Structure 1
Amino acid sequence: MRKLTAGLFYSVDGVAEAPDQFQFDSFDDELGQMLGGVMAEVDTVLMGRQGYEEWAGYWPNAGQDMDFAGFINAVPKFVASRSLKPSDMAWSHSTLIEGELEAFVRELKAQPGGTISAMAGMSLVRQLLISGLMDELTLIMHPVISGKGRRLFDAATPTTRLSLVSSQQTSKGNVVLTYAKRAD
């Protein structure tokens, strides 16, 4: 069974939206090495609609962060959306998920391959974690209070027990916390 993971840049006040607005001065070599290791294991990406549209408008022509651009432009991407059509999938290696998301993910996890990563979709990550399909959730907490922006979890999120899988601190004070949903 393939592993499904997600990793989000996070501020101390819980903001995960637009991390480029708050994490730029705390990104360090340790995070770069860690993310390089993640990219080496991931061979499939799941995305939400909004994240897909934002990333499809940027990464195909990105002039910076070429390691990630090379990865994300080449990897197969499956997009969860109720409003996009298959003809909207113009970004290379992108496919619209047709049918029910959780059934699609169960089937994808049962196929041979490497790690599947949910990227660019907070509601997607939340749904997959709460449903029990997410094997690991990594929060990369930067030493900053964002003050504004969307959070991964909101008042509608049910109480969900997690187990800490690993933790580490980087030289610039980032704390990398990896959780799994606790089996109760």
Structure 2
Amino acid sequence: MRRLTAGLFSSVDGVVESPHLWQFDSFDPELGAGMGAMIGKVDTVLLGRQGYQEWADHWPRAEATDPFGSFINPVQKFVASRTLSGELGWTNASLMTAPLEEFVTALKETDGGDIAVCASISLVRQLLFAGLLDSLMLMTHPVVAGAGRRLFDPADPVTRLELQDVTATSKGNVLASYGLRAL
């Protein structure tokens, strides 16, 4: 069975939205290595509609200037959307052909490398609470963002997690991977 992973940049106060506004001065080689290790096992990416539209507009033009582009552009991408239809304009991108949980359950049963959720807070939340996410890496930067969407809401159910791995970097980032804890 394929593993489903997700990685999100987070501030100390739990903000995961728009990390480009607060993470700029804490990237370091260890953070890059952790991200590289995570995506090195991935051959399929899941995106939400908004993330797809933002990334499809940016990454095809940025491949020459950013190493992430050489990963994300050729990889197989599936997009969860209730509003998009037809052919998608980004290389190897297509719409999910079934409801999210059903599609991901079937995809995990296929052959291949890891599957990663990218650029979608809502997909990460849905798949975590559905019990389908095998590993969630939170890359916590040493900053209080103050404002922005957080990964978890006060109304979320109690969900027990198990620490899978943790690393601190030279600039104070903490890379912590969690999985659902079996009860």
When normalised by structure 2's length, the TM-score is 0.96
Corresponding residue pairs, total = 183
Q: Residues 53-132 of structure 1: matches in 2 within 5 Å?
A: 53-62=53-62, 66-87=66-87, 89-132=88-131
For 1:41, give the aligned amino acid.
K
Q: Give the distance between the partners of 1:98 and 1:132, measured in 2 at CA.
A: 20
- Aligned 8 A contact 2:63 2:70 in 1: no
The structure with the largest helix share of the pair is 1
Runs of 4+ in structure 1 deviating by more than 3 angstroms, as ranges, are none
Provide Cα deviations, 1:84-109, integer angstroms capped at 9, x if missing partner: 1123x111110101221111101110
Q: Give the distance between the partners of 1:150 and 1:45, measured in 2 at CA.
A: 22
Q: Give the distance between the partners of 2:110 and 2:97, measured in 1 at CA.
A: 17
CA-CA distance at 1:118 after TM superposition? 0.4
1:142: which partner in 2?
141
For 1:135, give the aligned amino acid.
D
Say yes or no: does 1:19 pair with 2:19.
yes
2:3: which partner in 1?
3
CA-CA distance at 1:183 after TM superposition? 1.3
- Structure 1: gaps spanning 5 or more residues: none
- Structure 2: gaps spanning 5 or more residues: none
For 2:180, give the aligned amino acid.
K
When normalised by structure 1's length, the TM-score is 0.96
The secondary structure found in structure 2 opposite 1:159 is coil
CA-CA distance at 1:155 after TM superposition? 2.4
Q: Give the distance between the partners of 2:42 and 2:63, measured in 1 at CA.
A: 23
Q: Give the distance between the partners of 2:98 and 2:20, measured in 1 at CA.
A: 33
CA-CA distance at 1:38 after TM superposition? 1.7
Percent of paired sites with the same residue: 56
For 2:58, give the aligned amino acid.
Y
Compute the RMSD of aligned alpha carbons: 1.2
For 1:114, give the aligned amino acid.
G
